[in-house]
């Protein structure tokens, strides 16, 4: 299943990149999702968040009562006025993955963070149904990031934050 989402930040690309790789910001985004437990790390150009979440039905049939979800963005070295990277989201012990690209680019005085990727669940017969259940949960994480970013930027500059949009689609096949 194709996944696309956008965050809009009321700051420059450089400021948005600094925010997106700040452990304190990542900590606040992780906490916003109400996990049972979580951890964040930034190692050079790679930002990683691991959350232990309460599992939801029918996914809990495969995971038990908890699911460990790791999301990681490995940013490429700077190239001009935009930043790009590889995004991966995967739970432990479940054949589900979201692999895609992120692009952080200027849009006037603001910046856009665009996510595009492919969500796959490799379970015969029920994989597509689980993709349809998982997509909204994964996209909710982008909404949390937008909400935290709005607060973060308002705290630092006294201005508005931005907006978020998303579009879960289906891929052919």
| pLDDT value for 158 | 60
**Dist CA 171 CA 169 (whole Å):** 7
Instruction: State the chain's mean pLDDT as an integer.
Output: 84
**Dist CA 158 CA 83 (whole Å):** 25
Residue 62 CB burial class (10 angstroms; 0-12, 13-18, ≥19): middle
Domain at 2-168, CATH class: alpha beta
In the predicted model, is pLDDT for residue 36 greater than 90? yes
Report domain extents, the chain. 2-168
In the predicted model, is pLDDT for residue 157 greater than 90? no
In the predicted model, is pLDDT for residue 160 greater than 60? no
Beta strands (DSSP E) in 44-162 are: 46-54, 66-75, 83-91, 96-107, 110-121
Encode pLDDT of 41-94 as tens digits: 999 999 999 999 887 766 667 777 788 889 999 999 988 889 999 999 988 877
| pLDDT value for 59 | 67
Predicted TM-score of the model (pTM): 0.83
Confidence of residue 171 (pLDDT cuts 50, 70, 90): very low
| pLDDT value for 173 | 42
In the predicted model, is pLDDT for residue 39 greater than 70? yes
């Amino acid at each position: 299943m194709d996944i696309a989402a956008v965050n809009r930040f009321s700051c420059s690309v450089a400021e948005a990149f600094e925010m997106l790789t700040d452990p304190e910001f990542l900590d606040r985004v992780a906490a916003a999702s109400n996990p049972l437990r979580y951890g964040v790390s930034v190692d050079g150009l790679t930002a990683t968040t691991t959350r232990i979440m309460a599992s939801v039905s029918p996914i809990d049939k495969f995971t038990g009562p908890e699911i460990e979800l790791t999301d990681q963005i490995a940013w490429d070295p700077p190239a001009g006025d935009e930043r790009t990277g590889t995004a991966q989201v995967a739970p432990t012990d479940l054949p589900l993955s979201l692999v895609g690209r992120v692009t952080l680019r200027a849009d006037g005085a603001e910046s856009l963070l665009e996510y595009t990727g492919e969500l796959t669940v490799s379970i015969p017969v029920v994989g597509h149904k689980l993709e349809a259940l998982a997509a909204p949960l994964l996209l909710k994480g982008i909404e949390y990031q937008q909400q935290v970013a709005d607060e973060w930027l308002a705290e630092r500059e006294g201005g508005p934050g931005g907006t978020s949009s998303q579009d879960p689609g289906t891929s052919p096949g």
